Amino acid sequence: MVEIEARKEAASRSARLNAVFAALADPTRRAIIERLSRGEARVTEVAEPFHMSLNAVSKHIRVLEASGVVERHRKGRDHILSVNTRSLDEVDGWIERTRRYWERRLDAMERLLRELKKDHKLGPKDRKHGSK
């Protein structure tokens, strides 16, 4: 049972990542997130700077809401939009994990290069370069 629960959790995490990455793959949707990252705003305020119909912007907002990146709450008559940073945390965590291995390898390579440089400080190539 525990394994089934763990698999379900992994599957829903994967589905969330699919939705968030797909939501971020559009420049208009990224611009909406950038706007909301400076502060929550009404739907009409978010739509204003774009050269497209309110309907077209609303479609993008719905994609963002479905992915969990953007949240909507009501304040009187207004629909207020805000960014849910926790959804971005998950994406960021994924990138971080996959990058760590390479960073370690690059660090090791850098150390090796530094060691080689130190050993060859008076080597032929360096002298040639220095005599120019």
Residues that bind a second copy (CB under 8 A): 14, 17-19, 21-22, 24-27, 30, 33-34, 37-39, 83, 85, 88-89, 91-92, 94-103, 106
Question: Which amino acid, one-letter code, is at 110?
Answer: E
Closer residue to a second copy (CB): 13 or 127: 13
Token pair for 102: 């390479």
Q: Provide the minimum distance between the beta carbon of 23 and a second copy in the complex, in angstroms, as a whole number.
A: 8
Closer residue to a second copy (CB): 28 or 59: 28
Q: Provide the minimum distance between the beta carbon of 25 and a second copy in the complex, in angstroms, as a whole number.
A: 4
**Cα–Cα distance measured from residue 109 to residue 121, given in angstroms and rounded to the nearest whole number:** 18
**Cα–Cα distance measured from residue 88 to residue 20, given in angstroms and rounded to the nearest whole number:** 8
Closer residue to a second copy (CB): 1 or 95: 95
Q: Provide the minimum distance between the beta carbon of 83 and a second copy in the complex, in angstroms, as a whole number.
A: 6
Token pair for 18: 């699919």
DSSP letter string, 56-95:
HHHHHHHHHHHHTSEEEEEETTEEEEEE-HHHHHHHHHHH
Q: Provide the minimum distance between the beta carbon of 73 and a second copy in the complex, in angstroms, as a whole number.
A: 15
Place of tokens 């080689």: 116
Closer residue to a second copy (CB): 52 or 117: 52
